[in-house]
Structure 1
Amino acid sequence: MIIHLKEVISKDELQSMRTILESPGTPWIEGKKTAGTQAQLVKNNEQLQSGSEQAKRLRKIVLDALKRNPIFFAAALPKKIFNPMFNRYRPEAPTYGPHIDGAILYSHDDSFWVRGDISCTLFLSDPDEYDGGELIVHDVSGINRLKLPAGDAILYPGGSLHSVSPVVRGVRLASFFWIESMVRNVEQRKILFELDKNILSLRSAIGECEQTVALTGIYHNLLRLWGDTL
């Protein structure tokens, strides 16, 4: 299930983030230093040093934005979020080849383990600022080439083969992170998300009624059946 989240962060938040990311003092490191053995062979980008003050300020902006986004909650049903990180692609460090993210990740900043049920990329550069740099995700629907407006995010299954095509002009800035969902099974999450969307649509069309109450009850009973908060 691939879901496009629009305007996750505001224009003011985006401007603040860009100012930090583009400052001369921002500590960028080789991306392969943070990668596993397999990923090191295909990773050629730059990553913001995760323990830096800049990274901490940026993470707070992203996490605060996610908390207020109802579509993110409905689609991901988040139990844990691996602390958001930030990367940069440019012709000098242009690409990340095909790879699959690790299943279990340890968040040093928060001192907990996260199962990567869902991967997320939050775009911080507009498509016309760089050539190349598409996020390429392989899933049951085929090959998806994604290049979203700054401030938008994409959710996709954590076990998907994916890559970033080479940036040949400009700079591509993004945040990336993983989510452990209360509902582990992707098909169950899809059912709950579609049910939630249709309940909201029905309620908007006809208001609260016996049917919307009943469907809401079904939604929550399924969430009780499939959800895990431990």
Structure 2
Amino acid sequence: MRATGVPARVVTGYQGGEANDLGGYFIVRQSDAHAWAEVWLAERGWARVDPTAAVAPSRVRDGLYAAVADPGLLPFLARRGGGGEYEWLRQLALSWDALNNSWNEWVLAYGPDRQKEFLSGLGFGPVDWAEMTVAMTVTLGGFGLLVIGWRWRRRGTRDPVARAWQRFCARLARRGLARGPHEGPLDFTERVAASRPELAASVREIGRLYAALRYGPTGSPADVRQLQWRAGRFRVRTPR
């Protein structure tokens, strides 16, 4: 066309592609690369001159796989589409591509626009990011305080030895025999035994077991069970 004085150019791009119904999009690969000619017509401007659609319409509609006579000539991973013996490979490749596309959209490219789209889908409507930031900060802060409080409360009760001792001390405290912060287990149980002689044998044995398990060499499971049993059965009756 240039030789006859008509302006012409070569345009490069892509033609064809593969629909991925799993993700609702089209896959355009490097194998879909295409080049064609355009000529300048005074009444139309640049006009495409490309015989591909007439010579190989399947190349436009279904991509390279459908345009070749023997798909076995293609690279192994390009042998998909059109059903047949390679249909399993096509489905596998489409599934992987859909997963990879979701990762790109919802993780790598998760920005303000995607956040608005996600929250709108949950029914939040128009999002005010300043209000959302304050709400998220308050929510996360409150949740963090609840977790810290729960862990603080549970910290001393995970140990079966500590749990049994605390149960024992709580029962005495309800009868006016609270353990002072300065008292060790033996001093505390001796004071209780002196003020309530009828409890002396029980409280001394519980104090001895707890001191041995907490401060002595590693106690045996039998000693732990003995402390739990005694602390569980311990009762303080109101004197008449």
> What TM-score, normalized to structure 1?
0.20
Give the number of the structure whose residues are more often strand, by fraction: 1
Which is richer in helix? 2
Relative contact order (alpha carbons < 8 A, sep ≥ 6): 1 or 2 greater? 1
